[in-house]
Each structure stands twice: as structure tokens, then as C-alpha cells.
Chains A and B, each alone.
Chain A
Amino acid sequence: MQDQIILFLPELFFLLMALVLFGLTLGSGRPKPRRDYYVALVLGAVGLVLTLGSIKAEGHLFFQAYRLDLFSQLFKCFLSFGLFLVICISSRLDDIEERRHPEFYLFLTTSTLGMMLLVSAVELITLFVALELSSYSLYILIPLRKGSSHSTEAGIKFFFIGAMASATMLFGMSYLYGVCHTTYLTGILSSLPAQIHAPGAVIGMVLTLCGLFFKLAVFPFHNWAPDVYEGGTNQVITFIATASKLAGMAILIRLTALTNGSSAYLINLLIVLSMIGMTFGNLVAIKQKDFKRLLAYSSIAHAGYILIGILTMSKLGYSSVIYYALAYLILNFACFMVLITTSEKGKNVAIEDFNGLYSRAPLLAMTLLLGVFGLAGLPPTGGFTSKFLVFIAAIEKGYFWLVVFAMVNVTISLYYYINVVKAAYLNPPAEGSEKIKISVPLRLLNYVVIIIILWLGLYPATLLDRARTAAEAVLAVL
């Protein structure tokens, strides 16, 4: 029993954290935003340390429905790291009412908890419940933004499309259950590859994946992304763009591994989705003026690249996606951190608001440059190395032309990424704009982010080895 509690410690801690934050929401006196911030920050840091400490945990819980292995633990580390980073940049929550700050942290925490459960779930119902926990928290977070009708609209859109996706997923799962007579992934794996050619199995799998495509904003389930990105509070969107994407990747890996790569139909479907997603995302992103919308479309394109790694369904492919996950988290975070610091009173930031950022805050300009070039996939950033790994996996499996197609897309994407850099480094600052003051902790955070981006780009060895072992863990269980 004690062993099991230790295995479940990080999740328990986040549950506790949620309870503490819930306690803060009950207070009826004057709101104390600084106190809320520090409580969340300290708890987030402890949670991160605990999760890092449990990276080697292995075992099963809850009647084999919950599995701890390097794969799940690695993703949990990423997730709690993501949560911690988002809390770090929430010291100025200008566009959320002060009395709602505890709610903001609370739902971030419950969402993270949901995702942590999600990456460990190896049983369909557990998986579904975890997914819903994480999603519903996000649905509440979007309309928290004050004084914006946009955010309500975005919230409703997000909720409806999300609920639709969940329903579709549940429907798909019922097919899988019907075909395999079990909800346990291990059980499904032992019977699914043999039956994958049966219409019921394929439909079940595809419908189940649809729910996850929604999370990852894979085309054509991307509709929510631009509006939600534009309408939500910057910090909330940072969380959606980083941590929540990771959970999607993790579970996509778990589920596709079930087919053993034996369904050509499924693979072809993924190829098509990936190709359309990349092209659509990149082409539409070119026209965007709002930086968050641009990142939304870029995320649609990135979902396409990630699918390339997933559709290989090989150890190399999965490990490259795990690598991609962390790189993507940190690169997106870099962009959002600059966005939040540059933004006045939590407003949205247009690309032209970055004009002259170089002279207003050189460090932020550097972070933005690395973040954006990383997303574009230029060396020596983590974005390059992760694409490199994904492409190796794809070519190994014989998808050479898909890689060439992806590279053409990368070139298209360069245009809009370079425009961001151009604004920051070449355009003169707007008249009357002042230097941006950066506090010491934020300065430190910037350095940390820059170092991680370069470290992932230039020295992939450490994380790659972990990612490989993690990918083996997924393939071995199942």
C-alpha cells in the first residue's frame, strides 16, 4: 500500500495543490493576488521537484488501469515543468479579475493533474475520464478573461468543439471495446493488430484518434485554435499551447502503438492529415497580423510535423516525438513569454508591436529570435534537432517524399517566422515606446529558456537516450 502511495505521489501532490488553491478561492475578503501567486509558485515548484524525483518510478496501480513507466514519468515531468513555467510568468495577470486569480491557478492545476493521469492511463475509461478532467478545466479558463466578448465566444467555441470531439472519441472507444471485448490497452493490443482490417476496428481507432486530434489541433479539427488563442488570456493560452499539446502527443503515441503499424489505412489517413495540416497551417499563418493567431496556425502546421513522427509507429519515431514534445514546449513558451512581457495590460500583441524590440529589450528580442527560429526548425535550436529526428524516423520507414514535402513546408513557414524577427530586429520602435523593464527573476527565466533551446539543439544525447528508453517502454508494455 505504501509503495503504491509513493508511486502515486506526484499526482497526489497536485491533487493537494488543487485543494489548497480551492481553499483560496473560498476567501471572501479583499483579493490578495501576490499571495495567490506565491502560493501557486511555491506549490508548482515543489510539484516539479516531486515529479522529477519520481522519474524512475515503475509499476501498476488501480487494477492495472494505471501504468507508471519512463514514458509516463517523462511526460509528467514535462507537464509539471510546463505548469511551473506558466505560473512563473503569471505574476502580472492584468486581464483576469483579482478575485479570480485563485481560480486561474486552481484550474491550471486540475488540468495538469488530468493530463498527468492521462499519460499514465492504460485503460480506455480511465483515459477518457482523465482527458475530460483536463479539458473541462481549460473550458473554464478561457472565458475568465475580463471585459472581452471575444473570450466568451472563444470559450463557447472551444467547449462545443471539445465536447463534440469527446463524444466522437467515446463512440470510437465503444467500437474498440466491441471488437476487442476489453477496455485495457494490453488486451486491445493482443487482439487489435489481427483485426485491424475489419471495418469496426479501423473506424473505432480513427474515431478514437479524432478526439486527440482535437487536442493537438490537427487539421480538420483545428477550427478552435485561432479563435481560442486570440480570445483567451495570454497565460492560459501559453498553457494550452505548451502543456496541453504534450498530453495530446503522449496519448496519441500510446494509442497508435496499439495497431503495431499494421493498418495501412490508418497510416495513409495520417499521412494525408499531416500533409494537409502542414500546408494549411503554414499558408494561412502567412496572412496573420496577430501574434497569437500566427502561433495558432503555426501549431496546426506543427501538428502535421508531429504526425509524421507518429505515423512511423517505430521506436525511433516515437522517441523523436517525445523529443519534439519538450522542444515544442520550450520554444512555444519562449514566444509566449516574450508576448506576455511585451503586452500592455494583458492585451493581444500584433506582430508590429514587436517593432524595435531589439532596442527596447535586447534579451527578450534574443529569446524571441531563438523561439521563432526554433519553431521554424533552424539550427542550432531544439526545433531543428527535433525535426531532424522525426525526419530520420520517417525516411527509415520509407516516407522519403513525405519528408521532402515537409521540408517544402518548412521553407514556406520561414517567411512568416522571419517577419517576426524582422519586426524585432529591423523595424524602428514605435514613437513614444519605452524600454521594457525586465525583473531579475524574469531575466533568469529568459537565460534558462535560451540555454535549454540551445542545449536541445546542440547536444541531444541525454534527452534522446531517455526518449528512446521511454519509447521502448511504450512498445514493450503494449
Chain B
Amino acid sequence: MTDFYEIIRQWPLLSGIQVVTALGLLTVMLVPENRPGLIKKLAAVFSGVDLLICILIFLAYDQEAGGFQFVEKHLWVKALGIHYFNAVDGINLPMILLTGIVLFTGCLTMWELENRVKEFFAFSFLLVLGVFGVFMSMDLFFLFVYYDIALFPMYPLIAIWGSTRKEYGAMKLTLYLLAGSALILPGIILLYVKSGLWTFDIIALSGAEFTPYIQSIGFLLFFFGFGILAGVWPFHTWSPVGHVAAPTSVSMIHAGVLMKLGAYGVLRVGAFLCPEGWVQWADLMAVLAVIGILYGAFVGLAQTDLKYVIGYSSVSHMGIVGLGLSTVTVSGMNGAVFQMFAHGIMTALLFSSVGYIYDKTHTKTTFELGGMSRNMPVISGFFILAALAGVGVPCLASFWAELLVFISAVKVYPVRGILAISGLLISALFMLRVVMKTYYGPANEKYAGLSDVTAWLATPRVILAGVIVFFGLFPWLMLNLIQTATVSFPKVMGF
């Protein structure tokens, strides 16, 4: 087996993912519009192949060796020092796997879509092409290009197929996120120019000696630039609005994967390249993260729209990622990266469950629903499982992530750590309240005749639920991998 993995490691699998995604995009575009069935099947096949490659890379990554593997580096523009440079380590590998899972399950979830199917899948593939690119690119130029490619398809995806004030939601989201990218660009160029190396290669730049002042400005730009996408309070307002407006699978990709791009950017570009700036601004990060956790939880408490509930819980949960990063400790970062993965899967499951209910009942407000578990036990079960994962029930993936973050947070920032934990209690309260109102209690007669998910439509949800439970039971499979990367971060403290 080891020999097999040895061979696998020689293959340019990262480019393979890009090629398969790009082929998926092209193939979908070439199929005539009046064959939606074929388009959906093709989408499922291409996303399935993507997922398989992701799993293969995950298995083949040599944890003992650690560091950057599956490296593909080719000079692209000599005059500017731009490289086509892909590599994975313990931080982006979980993210790539996450993207693969969410893309595949997202494609399956949209099986019942009927309106402008071809464009929907074309835009989805374009978006994911960008997401994969950001996660695997080790060159700042490409990273930025991919980042913008990932952002722009959100606009049509929400504005065409969305619901509830969709155009407003789409415009707000796009302007917010592109405003973020407008901060990132000067940051990238600043590092490029001030390094004196004339390269955009992230690994080479991490060896450059930037003055504390440059690192300070650089980190701040990256923190706010990428942070907007990660839903950092007070720049989170696009997020619930966008989530609510987006169609199911887009919400899944959006909350599940896209928000992670932001956190990943803060980590990979901000913390990795400007470690002193990171340490300097860690206090501020922690404060914003704790406010985000508490704010998301409190506002979530007052919501009656299921998607708003998940949207605000995302703000809260992404706050946990921010808190983990702000501790500047290995365990905090491990927790943060694991939380990114776990939250991605969990939110995807939440949105896919709510999406099904919305498709059938055309409502997502808690007081119009009720007793859903009697008519639709299976889909309700998925929601409840994901909600429990969000609350941090042991044996589910996010439990370990949250545990790690909170332990390190309490050690580094005792008061803020305890405040954050209390936020978790509130979010438990509102999640359970939603579960109680929507899935238990008196049933709404209007929806008595609705059927539960078919086995085929349950498949994507089963996969997501399976992943949550699997990594809840075997957390070290992920944590050991993450640890290989986080220990090598400059400036990071132990424990």
C-alpha cells in the first residue's frame, strides 16, 4: 500500500482536480439546454471524480514527512516572478477534502432543480474551480485570481436561483466580498515589493524578513480583507442575508466552503507571511471573535426563519475559528482548522435538510412548521444530528474542534475564553429551540401528506452525516494531519 501511495505522490493530482473541474464546466456548457437530466448526471460524475481524487490525496499524504507535498511548480511569468505553484500541507488538505465532499453532495442535492439547470451547474463548477484554486495555490498571484473567480459566480447563483430578497442579497454579498478583495490586493503587492525577492511564491516569501511595520499593515489588510469572507464581526452582515437568499446547494457551498476561504486566507497569507503582525493584532482578533460568537448566538435566538438561524449560527461558529487563530498557539490553530472542516460539513448538512423542507413546504419559518419529524423522520434526523454537532455534542466532529479552541482560548485569554464558552451555551439553546419547534410539538396539518426523502435524495445527506460522525469518532485522523502544518508556523507557541 505504501508503495502505491509512493507512486500516487508523484502524480500531478492537484492539477488533476482543476482539470476535472474545468472539464466539468466545459462539458456542462456544451450539452444542449433541453437535456437537464444529462447535465445533472454529468455534474454528479465530474464532482464524484473530484471527490475521489481529493480522498486519494488525503490518503496518500505522508504525515510522517509532513510539509508541502504534491508540489507542482512551473514558472509562469518570469519578469514578475509568478509561478503556477500547487502544493498541499496539513492546513489546505482538509479544506480541499471539504470542498470535494460539499461539491459532490451539493450536486446531488440539486437533483430536483428545473430552472436554468445548465447555467446553474456551469456557475457552480466555476465557483468551485476558484475555491479549489485558492486552497491549493501557493502563489499569491494565482491565489488572488482564484479568489475572485470564486466570488463572482455567487452573484448570478443567488440572484437567479435564490429566494427572499435575492437581488439585494446577491448585490450586498458581492460588494462586501469584492471590497474585501480590494484590501487584499495592496497587501499582496506590498509583500511582493518589500520582500525584495520579486516573487509571489508564498513559501519563498515566508522566508523574507519584513519589518514589523510592514507585517503589521500587511496582516491588518489580510485580516479584514479575507475576514469579511470569513464573516468576522462587524463585517458579517452580508452573510445571513446571502445565506437566506441563496438556493440550497449554493448555501451549502457558500457557508460550507466559501466562508472557509476567508479563514484560510487569514491563516495562510496573513499569519504565515506576517507572523509579527499576527501576534500584534491577536488581541483585536480575539475581541472581534468573541463578539462574533456572542452576537451570532444572541441574534440567532431571535430568528424564526430557519435559514437565518443557520446563518447566524455560522457567524457564531466562524467566530470560534477566529478565536482559535487569535490564540497563536498550536492547539488553538489545530482546533480552528478542524472547526473549519467540521463546520463546513455540518452547515452543508443543515442547509441541505432545510432546503428539502423548503422545497416541499415553501416555508422556512419555524412557527409555520412543526412536528416535521412525524412526516419526515429521515430528513429531520439529519437536521437534528447537524444541530447537535453545532452545539458541540461529543463524538461528533466539531466537539473536538471546539474543545481545542476553548482550552487554548481560556489559557491565553481567560475572560474572553469564558465569555465565548457562554456564547456556545446560548447557541445550544437556540438550536434546541428550533429543533423543538420545527421538528417536534404539534404538527401542522397542511404538511401531513408530504413524503420524506427518497433513498437517492438521502444519499448526499448520509455522506455528510457519515463524515461528521466518522471524524467525531476518529478525530486524530484529521488532527494529526493538521498538526504537521501548524507546528511549522512562525511565531506560534506550544500547547
> CB within 8 Å of B: which residues of A?
373, 378-380, 384, 388-389, 391-392, 395-396, 400, 403-404, 407-408, 410-411, 414-415, 418, 421-422, 425-426, 457-461, 464-465, 468
Contact = CB atoms under 8 A, between A and B. Distances in A.
Given A391-B186, A396-B193, A378 B175 contact: no
B134 to A, nearest CB: 12
B171 A408 contact: no
18 contacts: A373-B152, A378-B152, A379-B144, A380-B145, A384-B148, A388-B185, A391-B185, A391-B186, A391-B189, A392-B80, A392-B193, A395-B193, A408-B182, A415-B175, A426-B156, A457-B145, A460-B80, A461-B79
B178 interface: yes
B362 interface: no
Contacts of B160: 425-426
Contacts of A464: 77, 79-80
B186 A395 contact: yes
A407 B79 contact: no
Given A380-B149, A395-B189, A418 B79 contact: no
B155 A418 contact: yes
Q: Which 4 A-B pairs have the closest CB atoms?
A: A407-B182, A379-B145, A461-B77, A411-B179
A461 B183 contact: no
Given A378-B148, A392-B192, A415-B175, A407 B76 contact: no
Given A380-B149, A391-B185, A395-B189, A414 B174 contact: yes
A426 B159 contact: yes
B78 interface: yes
Interface residues of B, number: 30
A379 B76 contact: no
A147 B156 CA distance: 40
A222 B160 CA distance: 38
B357 to A, nearest CB: 27
Given A407-B186, A418-B155, A425-B156, A460 B77 contact: yes
A403 B183 CA distance: 10
B167 interface: yes
B181 to A, nearest CB: 9
B77 to A, nearest CB: 4
Contact of B76 (A378, A380, A421, A461): A461
B31 interface: no
B190 interface: yes
Contacts of B189: 388, 391-392, 395, 403
A466 B323 CA distance: 48
Residue of B149, B189, B192 with most partner-chain A CB within 10 A: B189
Contact of B167 (A403, A426, A459): A426
A414 B179 CA distance: 9
A411 B182 contact: yes
A384 to B, nearest CB: 7
A472 to B, nearest CB: 12
Residue of A373, A403, A426, A464 with most partner-chain B CB within 10 A: A426
Nearest to A376: B178
B186 A404 contact: yes
Residue of B167, B182, B190, B217 with most partner-chain A CB within 10 A: B182
Interface string B185-214: 110011011000000000000000000000
Contacts of B76: 459, 461
A249 B285 CA distance: 44
Contacts of B182: 407-408, 410-411
Interface in B347-398: none
Nearest to A378: B148
B83 to A, nearest CB: 12
Interface in B126-183: 141, 144-145, 148-149, 152, 155-156, 159-160, 167, 171, 174-175, 178-179, 182-183
Given A411-B175, A468-B79, A395 B190 contact: yes
Contacts of B183: 404, 407
Given A395-B190, A459-B76, A464-B80, 19 more contacts: A378-B152, A380-B145, A380-B149, A388-B185, A395-B186, A395-B189, A395-B192, A403-B186, A407-B183, A407-B186, A408-B182, A414-B178, A418-B174, A418-B175, A426-B156, A457-B145, A459-B77, A461-B78, A465-B79
B149 A379 contact: yes
B159 A422 contact: yes
A302 to B, nearest CB: 16
